[in-house]
Every structure is written in C-alpha cells, then in structure tokens.
Amino acid sequence: MLDRRQWLQWAAGGAATVSASWAAAQTPPSELAELWRRSRGVVMLRHASTEPGVGDPPGFTLGQCSTQRNLSAQGRAQSQAMGRWMVQQQLRPDAVLSSQWCRCRDTAQLAFGRAEDWPALNSTFAGQGEAAAQEEAMRTRLRQMPDSRMEVWVTHQVNMTALTGAYPDLGEAFLLDRQGRLLARGRIAA
C-alpha cells in the first residue's frame, strides 16, 4: 500500500517517479551553493513548514491568508534561516519569484526580503490552476534564461515534481538545469 507521499508522487508522474525520487541524495548546503554559483539558473524552493494539513481548508481564497494553510512558527524560522544562509554564501539572486499562495510569498519575503508573484508557480494540487500551461511556462522561462542569471522560485510540491519527477520536502531546494532537470537537491539554511 502506498503512503500519502508515494501516492502523490505516483499520481503526479507515475510509478517510476516513486523510485526515482528517492534515488536523488541530499547535497550538503556548501556544495549546493558552489553548484549554483557555477551553473547559475534556478533554485526552485518548496515553501517552508506549514500548519498541519494537506492542501487548503474549505473556503480557500487566493489573496486572503486567513483562508489558507500558512507557515507555522517553525516555517517562519526556517525561512529566516534560508535568508541568513544566502547572505553567508554571498548568493544574490537576480529575481525571487513566488506562487501567489501566502505560504510561498511569506517564505520568499522572510528569506529574501522580496518576492514577485508569478502565477505559473501557483499550486495545481487537486485540479487547481492549469497544470500543463503552468509547467510549459516554467520550462519556457528556464530555456530562455541567460546563462549568467540566478533566480529563486518559491512554489509547491506539485510543480517541483512536475518538472523533475522528484518529491521535495517542505523547505527543500532543487537546483535545475535549463531543461528543468534536477542537478542537485538539499536544504538551504544557516
């Protein structure tokens, strides 16, 4: 029997995704920083830890944080630690893009002090949004990104899994190449 994580992976990308996602080892933070410096491109970040639950409560409304599943105290602390790590590593992304969900925007604001909404990063969980169009928008931006550019995309598990076939934990970062392939994964925190 599949647990919730395995089921979500299977539903997002098939049975091969389940085994492939566990094959990718965590990259130590210092190595992740060095890889990003060399490769540039995108660090795709799943929002930090949230209040308990899956998805959003009934009555969810985009733009109204009180109707959403939000960051927990632990998630706010994780986000701040991510920001300290970026400063310590002297990494300065050219852009920080975020899903319009409050838990993503708050992660970005607490970690990087800024966030630009990008609807392509919005959740497609449980049939929300337009999964195929959003994935294509992300892939197009990756392919068109100048080699020298560094961006952070704060988003949801479903989007990260759609691009890479791997399942991220809360607050986990994926370093992507220009085709959306997973180069490295790990935690960014001080």
pLDDT for the residue 127: 81
Specify the CATH number for 25-51+64-187; select among 3.40.50.850, 3.40.50.1240, 3.40.50.450, 3.90.1150.10. Answer: 3.40.50.1240
**Domain ranges across the chain:** 25-51+64-187
Measure the CA dihedral 140/24/93/75, to 10°: 110
The pLDDT, as a whole number, for residue 169 is 94
Phi, psi dihedrals of residue 185, rounded to the nearest 5°: -140, 150
> Would you give per-residue pLDDT tens digits along the chain (190 residues)?
334 444 344 344 443 443 344 345 889 999 999 999 999 999 999 999 999 888 788 888 998 999 999 999 999 999 999 999 999 999 999 999 999 999 999 999 999 999 999 999 999 998 888 999 999 999 999 999 999 999 999 999 999 999 999 999 999 999 999 989 899 999 988 6
The pTM of the full predicted model, rounded to 2 decimals, is 0.86
pLDDT confidence of residue 109: 98
Which residue, 14, 27, 5, is CA-closest to 169? 5
Closest CA to 57 of 68, 71, 70: 68
Q: Which helix (H) or strand (E) holds 176?
A: strand 172-176
Query: DSSP letter at 178?
Result: T
Predicted local distance difference test score (pLDDT) of residue 64: 95
